[in-house]
Structure 1
Amino acid sequence: MTSSPTTTTPVPARPAVSKLSEPAAAAAVTAATKALGLPTIREEYARIAEAAARERLTHAAYLAEVLTAECDDREQRRRIRRVKEARFPRPKRLEDFHAHLLPDLPEATLAHLATGAWIDAGEPLVLLGDSGTGKTHLLIALGTVAAEQGRRVRYVTTAALANELAEAADDKRLTRVLARYAALDLLILDEVGYVSLDAHGAELLFQVITAREERASIACASNAPFSEWGTTFTDPRLAAAVVDRLTFNAHIISTGTSSYRLRSTRAAKKGGLKN
């Protein structure tokens, strides 16, 4: 028994160009950009079309302009989203940080940190100094730069992270939370040494640090020298292990003992700061 040949219905060719009125074209653009998720083109295509007509751009050049506008706006939204996801407690920018007030922070070092190369290399950053010496400002500012460069960043204090991990362990969610912190490009751990942790919290925090060792960066700040970290992590051996992991191939910067806030205020009152 022979089978009959399969027949297919030919698909009619689509016209190369549809003849649409201006209102119909506008409706078509709105529908298409909504379906494709292109909000910038939807908002800007008419304005760019007018400019393209004045400049006598080709159709291809006009298309390039609207696509570039969409890409640029999408990149801007992504930067804003990354900064928001980092959960910084307040905005701080590098351009507002007056490095000349910290003699142990050369401009070349700050410029290198701003590139984010140390994050790509998985190197730690440790800031040591008294309260008010600019540590948190610098952490947030560098974290903001990293987030705007497209990296996944999270800011958290040591006590808050230990509490979050303990609650996750109680709720049987610890593995998921640890995986989330391990996936970050940069973990900013502020206020190390401010609050003593119980043994369980210290051990959980150590798991996060170990998971990122030599693979993903941690930037931390403390007002206590390494020799006093035992009061935070309670177990001297655990404290030594934490110090070892956070200082290996690390950028260690001393912010000193003189208040950065006070010096900034005094300098501003005398006629402005000069970087």
Structure 2
Amino acid sequence: MNTNATIEKMQKMRLNGMKRAYESSFETRNQDTFTNDEFIAWLIESEDTQRNNNRTDRLLKNARFHYQASIEEINYTPDRDLDRNLLTRLSDCSFIDRHENMIITGCTGTGKSFLATALGYQGCIKGYKVLYYNLGKLFNKLTMAKADGTYMKELTKIENHDLLIIDDFGLQAINNEKQLILMDLIEDRNQRKSTIFCSQLPVKNWYDLIEEKTIADAILDRIIHSAIRFELKGESMRKKMKNN
């Protein structure tokens, strides 16, 4: 058996996980403890693990998160009034399969973005395509796309993501062209994809954000209906971390 030729063929076929495991087997001599069937199964499992890790890395990179967050790091102190059982159920990401929206509200620093990002990270680990955007930057991107003729292309890219996280919803009035852009975004995803909205404003104040009330009715009916809601309370998490 020509070991070097086998390794070269694995590299040529881009079986990098299998190649790495095969090479390590000569250092650890663990192939001596396997039957032939077990050794082949181990090599295939190594390749599968490598491919899953690569896919997760790509999904995380494409999601454009501002920082890393995980479900395990979420703080459940009593003052936050955060339902641990609900979050545990949501961590399987089946809400994405059901195309359910989520609304996370709370004062500045209460951890809205962290919670949304943690769910987004979990989605990437589960193999879902996730995209994170600050609403102001998303408006700017799509406004520029309208100007250069790529608007529909950009909308399609966003629609193709299983989960869209829109942060800082409500920091600015949604008027003129912005309300039409938001309507296009929501209409494309309605009952087909999931969206998480993070906002400092209580949901009851969202109606006043949107200039044209007919459009406001249409948008909010699609966003709020049957959405999973979290209202985060307590002291600013940033302040707590600084004091600690």
Q: Same fold (TM over 0.5)?
A: yes
Moved more, 233-242 or 80-89: 233-242
Give distance in 2, aligned partners of 1:65 and 1:114. 29
Q: How many percent identity over aligned positions?
A: 25
Residue of structure 2 aligned with 1:244, choices 191, 200, 221:
221
Provide the C-alpha distance between the structure 1 equivalents of 2:154 and 2:78, rounded to a whole number of angstroms. Answer: 38
Q: In the alignment, which residue of structure 2 is the partner of 1:93?
A: 70
Per the TM alignment, residue 245 of structure 1 is displaced from its structure 2 partner at its CA by: 1.1
Q: Which residue of 1 aligns with 2:31?
A: 52
Q: Is the 8 A contact 1:152 1:184 kept in 2?
A: yes
What's the CA shift for 1:81? 1.4
Q: Secondary structure at the match of 1:192?
A: coil
Aligned equivalent of 2:103: 126
How far is 1:103 from its partner?
4.4
Asked whether the 8 Å contact 2:16–2:50 carries over to 1, the reply is: no
TM-score of the aligned structures, taking structure 2 as reference length? 0.92
Task: Map Cα deviations across residues 37-70 of structure 1 (whole Å, 9 max, x no partner).
Answer: 11122222132252111x1x22222111111111
Q: Distance in 1 between matches of 2:138 and 2:10?
A: 42
Matched, 1:256 2:228: no
In structure 1, C-alpha distance between the alignment counterparts of 2:88 and 2:19, rounded to whole Å: 39
Specify which of 134, 139, 156 is matched with residue 179 of structure 1: 156
Aligned residue among 144, 166, 185 for 1:167? 144
Q: What SS class does the counterpart of residue 37 from structure 1 fall into?
A: coil
Q: Out of 42, 47, 66, which is 1:70 matched to?
A: 47
SS of the residue 1:156 aligns to: strand
Equivalent pairs, count: 242
Q: Over alpha carbons, which structure has the higher Rg?
A: 1
Aligned pairs (5 A) from 1:156-235 = 156-235=133-212
Shift in Å, 1:249: 1.3
Verify: 1:108 aligned to 2:85, yes or no: yes
**Alpha carbons 2:155, 2:185 under 8 Å: kept:** yes
Q: Which runs of 4+ in 1 moved over 4 A?
A: 263-266
- Kindly indicate whether the alpha-carbon contact (under 8 Å) linking 1:163 and 1:201 is maintained by their aligned counterparts in 2: no
SS in 2 for 1:115: coil
1:125-144 alignment, distance < 5 Å: 125-144=102-121
The separation in 1 between residues aligned to 2:196 and 2:135, in whole angstroms, is 12
Structure 1 unaligned blocks of 5 or more: 1-19, 270-275
Contact residue 129 and residue 256 of structure 1 kept, 8 A: yes
Q: Distance in 2 between matches of 1:161 and 1:205?
A: 10
